[in-house]
Amino acid sequence: MYGSKTWRLTENNKRRVEATEMDALRRSSRISRKEKIRNVTIRQQIGLEETIVKEIEQNRLTWCGHVQRMAEERLPKIALKWMPKQKRARGRPKKNWMEGIRKAMNERILSEGQWEDRKQWSPGVGQRRKTF
């Protein structure tokens, strides 16, 4: 989870992270894949409602709000707004970090500029994950 605030999560990366999480949950519960117990059932037994991907999205939204509230001359804010000048390759551009943020904001019904008020932003982002 270290550094997950700055990850650009692709669908492939999401699948890999979720698979690794379920592997850890199965191992900690001492449940083999040969037993053919569904992931949902294991999550219910442990008491986890949210996946690790949701926690990563929350971390990213928290970081985005933090950076957006910074002064304009701060380096993280400059880096967030920076656009490369080089010519792009042919085809659809890869999704960037900010597109992932916008998608997560749409899912949580948050709008741009709402990060200025922490009391509105924090509940919309969500609560921290319960440890098991």
> What's residue 31's pLDDT?
87
> What's residue 17's pLDDT?
92
| Pair 63, 79: CB distance under 8 Å | no
Q: Residue 5's closest CA among 75, 80, 70, 73?
A: 80
Task: Say how far apart CA 132 and CA 129 lie, in whole Å.
Answer: 9
Question: What does the block give as tokens for 119?
Answer: 């009391």
* pTM score: 0.79
How many CB atoms are located within 10 Å of the residue 100 CB? 19
> What's residue 127's pLDDT?
58
> What's residue 20's pLDDT?
92
Side chain identity, residue 19: A
Given a cut of 70, the residues of the chain with pLDDT beneath it are 127-132
| Pair 46, 25: CB distance under 8 Å | yes
